A = this chain, B = another copy of it.
Amino acid sequence: MSKDDRRQALVRAAFNEIAERGFEGLRTREVAGEVGVNIATLHYYFPTKEALIRGVVELAMERFRSTLAPRGSSAEQLRDHLRAVRRLLAEEPELGAVMAELALRSARDPNLARIMEETTAYWHRTVRGLLRNAVRAGELRPDLDSDDVAAIIVATLTSMTLPAVAGAGRADQALRQLQVWLGMSFPTN
């Protein structure tokens, strides 16, 4: 197993631990154990717990950003994006959980705050671009403020990472209403 593979394996294990137990329950020994290496080996790859966490941040950002990349024909992109984020959170709830953990942690970690802000801003711009394309393509009303709508879309999708809020079908209701207001249709369940 190459040096890089091992690093990756450790980061993924840490990622899963955070998803499952939160930062509150993250234990380096547990991470090392899941990869099947000694705790000292973990420290060979990551001198401190903080360094390992930085690795998790990178992984989370990468995974999340790769979901944002617009795909398919321009007309379908907005629909696709909403669908993609929705599917992502359904199929990989760990990513949502980790993103939420990171969002909370960023309140205490300026460095992380910067990264999270960059990612959110990038997401916001991406959605705004999709909205503008859709307006241009005549699929959305031209008087729509793409900045504000992008904000409410990001907000709505984000709230889905908090199970306590999104539960009992409320996530789907919110998405359905988004579709109504946008005058477009995409599956919500």
Binding site for B on A (CB under 8 A): 20-25, 97, 100-108, 113, 116-117, 120-121, 124, 145, 147-152, 154-156, 158-160, 162-168, 170-171, 173-174, 176-178, 180-181
Check A107 against B163 for contact (C-beta < 8 Å): yes
Copies of this chain, tallied across the complex: 4
Given contacts A104-B22, A173-B147, contact A156 B152 (CB under 8 A): yes
Chain A interface mostly: helix
Given contacts A148-B180, A162-B103, A178-B152, contact A167 B108 (CB under 8 A): no
How far in angstroms is the closest Cβ of chain B from A122?
12
Check B104 against A101 for contact (C-beta < 8 Å): yes
